[in-house]
Amino acid sequence: MVIDDYPKGFSNYTLVKKMEKRGEESMKLLILPGIACDRSIWKDINWSDHDVTILEYDNYMDKTTETVEDIAQKILNDPSLSQYDGIIAHSMGGFIGAIILDKVSSLARFFIAIETSFVPANPSYQTLLYGEDSNLKIRIQNMFDTEIKHYPESLIKFLQGAFDYEYTLQRIAVPTTLIYGTREMTEEDELKNKLNLSDKTINGLTLIFIDKAAHFPMLEQPSKTNEIILNILKKYE
C-alpha cells in the first residue's frame, strides 16, 4: 500500500482496503500522529499487507478544540470509528490513544506509543533530532510550518503546560509498549529515570529504546523502527 492510499480521517471517505493482498493474518491498525506531523513521516515504515489508517485531525479542529481530550472525544463520537487490532501513536497521538483506550478498552488489542512523554520528561528528552542531518532538519521544520497552522493556539498552549497522563496510561487495559530515542544517553537506567514515570507505571508496560534517534525514530532510524514495530505486530497475528 502506498502512502497516498491511506485514508486521512474517519469522516467523509471510504476506507481503502487492499483485500487481494491481505491474508488471514492481516491486522487492522490505527495510526495517531503527533501535532503538526503529516503522514509522510511514516513513509519508510513497511506495513506489510496490514490494513493501515493514518488519521489526520483536520475533521476535529474547530473552536471547541482546546485539549487532547477534546480531540479524543470527537474521535470516539465519530460514527465511522472502527475496531482495531492495534493503535500506534506518535508524540501527542500517544495522549489521544491513551485517553481513547482508557474510555473504550475494547477498541484495540494493543497500544504502541512512540516518543510520547506522558508527564513532562527531563530536558534530555526535548531534543527533536539526533545528529546533524541538515536535510532532515529542514524537512521537519517545513512540515511543522505547514501543519501547525491547522491547530488552535489553545491546544498548542495546553501541550506546553504541566500535563499529566500517567494515571491514564496506568489504566490502559491492553498491552502497551513505549518507544523512545536515546539521544545522547547511553545507560538504560538513565533513560528510564528521565522519563519521570513511576516504577508502577514502568513495570506495567514494555519500554524499548532506539539508539542514535530522538523524537522521530521512524525517520532517523527507519529500519530499526520498522523492525521493532513488525516484531510487536507478530505477537498478535
Question: Residue-wise pLDDT tens for the chain (237 aa)?
Answer: 333 344 444 432 223 333 334 445 689 999 999 999 999 999 999 988 899 999 989 889 988 899 999 999 999 999 989 999 999 999 999 999 999 999 999 999 999 999 999 999 999 998 999 988 999 999 999 999 999 999 999 899 888 888 999 999 999 999 999 999 999 999 999 999 999 999 999 999 999 999 999 999 999 999 999 999 999 999 998
Q: Which 3-state string (H, E, C) describes the chain?
A: CCHHHCCCCCCCCCCCCCHHHCCCCCCEEEEECCCCCCHHHHCCCCCCCCEEEECCHHHHCCCCCCCHHHHHHHHHHCCCCCCCCEEEEECHHHHHHHHHHHHCHHHCCEEEEECCCCCCCCHHHHCCCCCCCHHHHHHHHHHHHHHHHHCCHHHHHHHCCCCCCHHHHHHCCCCEEEEEECCCCCCHHHHHHCCCCCHHHHHCCEEEEECCCCCCHHHHCHHHHHHHHHHHHHCCC
The reported pLDDT for the residue numbered 62 is 86
**pTM, two decimal places:** 0.90
Cβ neighbours of residue 35 under 8 Å, at least 6 residues apart? 91, 92, 147, 148, 151, 155, 156, 159
Confirm whether 166 is domain-assigned: yes
The reported pLDDT for the residue numbered 24 is 55
Confirm whether 106 is domain-assigned: yes
* Integer Cα distance of 67 and 185 in angstroms: 31
Confirm whether 20 is domain-assigned: no
The reported pLDDT for the residue numbered 86 is 97
Count: domains in the chain: 1
Confirm whether 17 is domain-assigned: no
Confirm whether 199 is domain-assigned: yes
CATH number of the domain enclosing 167: 3.40.50.1820
The reported pLDDT for the residue numbered 48 is 82
DSSP annotation of 19: G
For 114, the grid coordinates are 512512540
Confirm whether 16 is domain-assigned: no
Confirm whether 164 is domain-assigned: yes
Cα–Cα nearest to 191, from 128, 141, 125: 125
The reported pLDDT for the residue numbered 14 is 29
Confirm whether 15 is domain-assigned: no
Instruction: Residue 151: give the domain boundaries.
Output: 3-9+25-234
